[in-house]
Amino acid sequence: MQSVTLGVMSMTTAETAPGRDVVDLLLEQHDEIKSLFGQVQQAQGPVKQELFQDLVRLLVVHESAEEAVVHPVARRKLETGEQVVGQRLEEEDRAKKELADLYDMGVDHPDFDRRLEAFQAEVVQHATKEEGDEFLRLRGTVEADTLRRMVGALEAAEAAAPTRPHPNAPESAVGNVLTGPPMALFDRVRDAVRDWRQQHPGD
């Protein structure tokens, strides 16, 4: 990690913001996910499709890093970690299926908004439990250096899931090409995070 002493922090500068750890980034992503749900709900047509693709991408990046790197550490290090993580993994499995169903359904389907709203409620509840029962407790249990190094897992996940061009991506087809079905993206990002973990066996 570089030792740059800038106090300014931004989403993509985890490497240059030495104070940030994986918990900071996970909490930030939870906020982004909640914001994107609201944006998808309010959008129409191609913009709605593109925002939904953004949501798919962020959920895949976030959950893949949690599953491959964050939950295993929590399982090992936290008291009752086995139980806490087991519940979260069940919720994540259900969420993946629902995300795939929403993707197959498409944003123009008459039931899409209702299903998205129900999905949003489940994701927000899941995130709240993660924050209270898992992430914030990690800070009291896992060394600060380790939590900072774990930022690399999120960066590996981000790098494996390209973003669509902003701000004038004209058609939803662009997003489809880049993102594709959620399950295929999950596989790709999971592989990237596992590669990262193998290269950082102590984290």
Contact 58, 36 (CB under 8 A): yes
Q: Say if residues 149 and 200 touch (Cβ distance below 8 Å).
A: yes
Q: Give kind and range of the element (H or E) at residue 46.
A: helix 45-65
Stretch of 1-9, 63-71, 156-164, 190-198 lying at the interface with Fe ion (CB under 5 A): 63-71
Rounded CA-CA distance 145/136 in Å is 15
CB 64 to Fe ion: min, Å: 10
For residue 79 the two structure tokens come to: 């008291």
Q: How far is the CB of 47 from Fe ion (least distance, A)?
A: 26
Residue in 21, 66, 158, 203 binding Fe ion, rule: CB under 5 A? 66
Would you state the structure tokens that stand for residue 184, as one six-digit string?
Answer: 């295929």
Give, in degrees to the nearest 5, the angle at Cα 138 between 135 and 143.
Answer: 140
- DSSP letter (8 states) at residue 161: S
Instruction: For the CB of residue 127, give the shortest distance to Fe ion in the complex, in Å.
Output: 5
Residues 127-146 that bind Fe ion (CB under 5 A): 130
- Count of residues engaged in binding Fe ion, rule: CB under 5 A: 2
Q: Which is nearer to Fe ion, 31 or 113 (CB)?
A: 31
Stretch that binds Fe ion, among 6-14, 43-51, 58-66, 144-152 (CB under 5 A): 58-66
Minimum distance from CB of 65 to Fe ion (Å)? Answer: 9
Shorter beta-carbon distance to Fe ion: residue 74 or 107: 74
d(CA 59, CA 53): 10
Which residues of the shown chain bind Fe ion in the complex (CB under 5 A)?
Answer: 66, 130
